[in-house]
Structure 1
């Protein structure tokens, strides 16, 4: 961490974010605080008092040291639309939805404990301190309520832009563009914000991460082009206008099961999440997925936040019995972990004694959803997995041969299942493939595309692996998790692979290098995510780390528990080569009295450089 003078009265302290120090006499104003370590260096600059802290946005790397700065007498001003994530963040964590969660806004990086707020930074208002007047403009994109602060400093018109963009016309983090599940609405928001910034005619923009932006208009123009390229990919909603995906079906009655082949059925494209039935011909059935009956059950609309968890309602099983003489639903194999595909499995196990077989990475999540609840769309009921399958493993069911393959596409915890059924090579692809007409890039027809959800642990290699698996398996027919069946041939497979390569090039160009370091939301993950403890219990957490850098690096972590908890403050470390992953074990002692749900965080360091308290988990202390 270093202190750099930018102009006569402006410095930057490089911490978990850039902390900007604006000096007037022996007093100063800070833009964001990082870890708060900046206060140790102010006396050397002749500063006796921090009068104000202005925050660009609410993320922990920006403000986890604010309480420390407040103890020295500083006042705090925060964005108007994020005040609750400072002053009422404990309530945010006590009430935040966990399961069946399709809200992908990155409020998961909010503070763990309340911070008192002295003023709000109102959109299009001003904040005056000493001889400086800050114009406040919305900078929606990286977060919903982020602001940019425009001021004259040492004769230049400058902007403090938070994480709106970084030098070279790049985004700081791609996953922050996701607001609703699978959309990229942040692309539209960011475009609006950078065009507004361009009108301000600032000479230099000071971002929260990275070097100052000195070619402001040129970098904004470069980012405009990159955002347009992302929107041209299609398949992700990048603006307030819905795309050209399949039309919503409004059916009042349960859809009828349809034959694909003699021994293979599905419920048609108007179920919420396709499930498939393999028939033995002798009264037995094997299901691939079993989730929701219709899209109305998904509750991603405004009522979603008021629901505690997804509610499964039994469907289509009467048809299996009455129309296809199925008496034994013997086996279900889920393609991936999402609740809309697995929420019917506990019902099958309870009422039909159905066995569940699953790929190892899928099994670990559905068997222990509370541990993995930071992953979107976890179902809140644990599913017992009777057989754990490995990548590439063959399995047999009543005359049919199948293989299961790891295919981390829409989510990291995903498989595809291929089998030979009635003379066809059929691949059950889960949420990986959809037909879509991008209507861009010279394409005016439906092609097979790979869906992207940033919060599903997206990494660039995931889609490359899917393309490799698809190319190797050469299916005749794709049975997708949503939408119509997809007939496959070499031409359509080539289009699919080309789409993935084009997408990777566009996304890689949008962020810095190494790209996955700025794309992968879960390069550090804390397990278990949701847990309970008794007073004075020892609580253990595992920090899972993967090295996305292009070099060997040492990763360290330490717990930052809420007040009343006891921790040794010891740091655990591991050295990882490029692409390697490992785990760190951390411990804390719960307080002596019960507590409602609280946030506990872990600070992660790379080669002794703090990245801030980027990992989080939720814990309640309950009586014995």
Structure 2
């Protein structure tokens, strides 16, 4: 059994790195830094770090280069490093400076992503991810001794310089900008990744603080306006060019564009702005809306019931039951109550609308589950069968065995009904619509894509981590218009009567939101920039023994207007030799890099993070395809687990 103990505790993790991991570091050379403002130097390549010089001393803004690459600066010592935020590119060499005895300072909130114990916990919680609150660009291991006490507004004197931290959350929760002033009128802002260039945000998906609101975009816009009030003469970003003209206008104009993208996170707001929103009815009492399956069952029609996320359909030609989206242990008990009250037969089929745990984990607790058929669209089944294969939120580590996987447009019959499964991405890529006729009504189960306009924000929201986008929402709304059901069987207690004008507006909403997101994307395409999955690594967790050879597979998705020549690199961080592969990917296609990596026989047990990175002719493209590798084997019996309940009045996840 001892080898299995090693097997269970040795993990390899590969994470997609940023610019500092893109290629082998060049040797220190003159010209590595250039003066952009008198007394302020910037690195020649992105991510750009800055050095504020006072005589032969300097303060560094971000740790983008190691201590041995300060050649070209007219200094002898570095007094401290001030981090704008915790991301792997800006904090890349924080550990090296700490080892050299240089203080590294950051915001209080950064401790969650920099302190060793916090980083260990973040990696542990990353796969499977049980929420949408995630840390992007997580460093492989924490940095001991970072001083996370920098306070916004509390000036840091440095010779003739006054360096004032400014809270600028949005790109990350812990983000700071640094306002650099001198008595001679120098007024400069090192803005980190709060601002990229006029109208643009760097990696805008990092503003997706949750999966359905503008929780990150709204503070991002407010941060831009806060910087505009400083009226800087120069903006010095971590990615993007130095801006030395009309800085305040660029910031306020960008804030307005971000405001529009934030506004359009909500279909409800969009429809109200168009005016005269259509009126249509809920099919069950509104008390069901937002419930978690704790309410008594509501009868939708003679053969159909709902509570929370879960529908139960009685067979036409028998008494058996079809269950869609059972959530948590309480639903198993609720189903038994319904069966007894309505004299229903056994559950014969369980199906899932999408791959969020609050729509499938009740299966683990259902009586007789080993005798139940399990159906799903193949796209939805993927992450449920192999929860360690994909990086996605709201998954469960217990794999589900399917008895029937249907492709887009395929049908299956049960109990006198015919069900047509269609791929209906929106809130997440892993979503199905299920079309059938129930009690004379043409029905469409739509998962969490399309809520009633008076429920939440009218949709399940979109975010890059969910492989979702407004463009996808618009396409799915168009598909619903083509199907033209009479009833939309949305979840979280909210089925409603279909209204064609409502869905025409949803299609227009998708188009308008896509344009708004394109506007703030550096490439001009949100399909390229608003996703952490441009490079994805599968599987996302794999157990291995020390001395094993493990396979790392990285997929590059072509999303540009033309063929892209890139280099993917797996960096071994001293455990194994770096491996690089040059490849080309066409628009809409996928290129794959595969590395077989031997692990040292003396590799300590525990979680080990490595990195996959990408470089291309046009520059460095940041990616965030994490991989925490472990075997995908195991059983799907439910271990003891706490009950999961949604916050009152709203859903907890999908």
For normalisation by structure 2, the TM-score amounts to: 0.80
Q: How far is the alpha carbon of 1:79 from its aligned partner?
A: 2.4
Aligned to 1:345: 363
Does 2:349 match 1:331? Answer: yes
Matched residue of 2:475: which SS?
Answer: helix
Aligned to 2:302: 262
In the alignment, is the contact (CA less than 8 A) between 1:168 and 1:222 conserved in 2? Answer: yes
In structure 2, relative to structure 1, the CA distance for the partners of 1:93 and 1:526 (3 Å cut) is same
Does 2:189 match 1:159? Answer: yes
In structure 2, relative to structure 1, the CA distance for the partners of 1:602 and 1:474 (3 Å cut) is same
In the alignment, is the contact (CA less than 8 A) between 2:463 and 2:469 conserved in 1? Answer: no
For residues 66-103 of structure 1, the C-alpha deviation after alignment (integer angstroms, 9 at most, x for no partner) is 33455666442222321353242543345536446224
In the alignment, is the contact (CA less than 8 A) between 1:337 and 1:362 conserved in 2? Answer: yes
For residues 147-198 of structure 1, the C-alpha deviation after alignment (integer angstroms, 9 at most, x for no partner) is 1101137852000111112221332233222324423212332233233222
Aligned to 1:317: 335
Aligned to 1:498: 508
Which of 404, 413, 424 is 1:407 aligned to? Answer: 424
Range with bigger deviation, 159-168 or 89-98: 89-98
Q: How far is the alpha carbon of 1:136 from its aligned partner?
A: 1.1
For residues 427-485 of structure 1, the C-alpha deviation after alignment (integer angstroms, 9 at most, x for no partner) is 100011011259xxxxxxx9955632342122344223312321222211110122422
- Whole-Å separation in 2 of the counterparts to 1:251 and 1:102: 18
In structure 2, relative to structure 1, the CA distance for the partners of 1:573 and 1:261 (3 Å cut) is farther
Aligned to 2:532: 521
In the alignment, is the contact (CA less than 8 A) between 1:604 and 1:614 conserved in 2? Answer: no
- Whole-Å separation in 2 of the counterparts to 1:491 and 1:119: 52
- Whole-Å separation in 2 of the counterparts to 1:130 and 1:253: 62
| 1:419-430 to 2 correspondences below 5 Å | 419-430=436-447
- Name segments (4+ residues, structure 1) moved above 6 Å: 245-253
Range with bigger deviation, 148-157 or 514-523: 148-157
In structure 2, relative to structure 1, the CA distance for the partners of 1:277 and 1:247 (3 Å cut) is closer
Which of 239, 253, 257 is 1:222 aligned to? Answer: 253
Aligned to 1:200: 230
Does 2:297 match 1:288? Answer: no
Aligned to 2:27: none
In the alignment, is the contact (CA less than 8 A) between 1:361 and 1:414 conserved in 2? Answer: yes
For residues 122-146 of structure 1, the C-alpha deviation after alignment (integer angstroms, 9 at most, x for no partner) is 2222223344331112112211211
| 1:322-471 to 2 correspondences below 5 Å | 322-348=340-366, 351=369, 353-372=371-390, 374-437=391-454, 449=459, 451-471=461-481
Matched residue of 2:587: which SS?
Answer: coil
In the alignment, is the contact (CA less than 8 A) between 1:90 and 1:598 conserved in 2? Answer: no
Which of 520, 537, 550 is 2:548 aligned to? Answer: 537
Range with bigger deviation, 79-88 or 492-501: 79-88
Matched residue of 1:605: which SS?
Answer: strand
- Whole-Å separation in 2 of the counterparts to 1:278 and 1:344: 19
Q: How far is the alpha carbon of 1:381 from its aligned partner?
A: 1.4
Does 2:71 match 1:43? Answer: yes
In the alignment, is the contact (CA less than 8 A) between 1:599 and 1:619 conserved in 2? Answer: no
Aligned residues: 581
Matched residue of 1:30: which SS?
Answer: strand
Aligned to 1:547: 558
- Whole-Å separation in 2 of the counterparts to 1:608 and 1:228: 29
Q: How far is the alpha carbon of 1:11 from its aligned partner?
A: 3.2
In structure 2, relative to structure 1, the CA distance for the partners of 1:432 and 1:256 (3 Å cut) is same
For residues 551-581 of structure 1, the C-alpha deviation after alignment (integer angstroms, 9 at most, x for no partner) is 3212332223456x3x231112321112322
- Whole-Å separation in 2 of the counterparts to 1:571 and 1:60: 20
Does 2:587 match 1:578? Answer: yes
- Whole-Å separation in 2 of the counterparts to 1:6 and 1:106: 32
Report the RMSD for the aligned CA atoms in angstroms.
3.3
In structure 2, relative to structure 1, the CA distance for the partners of 1:541 and 1:470 (3 Å cut) is same
- Whole-Å separation in 1 of the counterparts to 2:339 and 2:130: 33
Q: How far is the alpha carbon of 1:589 from its aligned partner?
A: 3.2
In structure 2, relative to structure 1, the CA distance for the partners of 1:463 and 1:260 (3 Å cut) is same
For residues 342-375 of structure 1, the C-alpha deviation after alignment (integer angstroms, 9 at most, x for no partner) is 1122334853511112222211100111233x31
Aligned to 1:54: 82
Q: How far is the alpha carbon of 1:539 from its aligned partner?
A: 2.0
- Whole-Å separation in 1 of the counterparts to 2:498 and 2:432: 18
Matched residue of 2:536: which SS?
Answer: strand
Q: How far is the alpha carbon of 1:58 from its aligned partner?
A: 0.5
List gaps (5 residues or longer) in structure 2: 1-18, 20-31, 270-281, 632-654
Q: How far is the alpha carbon of 1:407 from its aligned partner?
A: 1.5
For residues 572-618 of structure 1, the C-alpha deviation after alignment (integer angstroms, 9 at most, x for no partner) is 23211123223322333334254223433322223484446733233
- Whole-Å separation in 2 of the counterparts to 1:181 and 1:253: 21
For residues 277-313 of structure 1, the C-alpha deviation after alignment (integer angstroms, 9 at most, x for no partner) is 2523312222222224xxxxxxxxxxxxxxxxxx666
In the alignment, is the contact (CA less than 8 A) between 1:447 and 1:492 conserved in 2? Answer: no
For normalisation by structure 1, the TM-score amounts to: 0.83
- Whole-Å separation in 1 of the counterparts to 2:95 and 2:623: 14
List gaps (5 residues or longer) in structure 1: 239-244, 293-310, 439-445
In structure 2, relative to structure 1, the CA distance for the partners of 1:349 and 1:97 (3 Å cut) is farther
- Whole-Å separation in 1 of the counterparts to 2:96 and 2:527: 33
In structure 2, relative to structure 1, the CA distance for the partners of 1:537 and 1:417 (3 Å cut) is same
In structure 2, relative to structure 1, the CA distance for the partners of 1:118 and 1:475 (3 Å cut) is closer
In the alignment, is the contact (CA less than 8 A) between 1:406 and 1:416 conserved in 2? Answer: yes
Aligned to 2:571: 560
In the alignment, is the contact (CA less than 8 A) between 1:16 and 1:611 conserved in 2? Answer: no
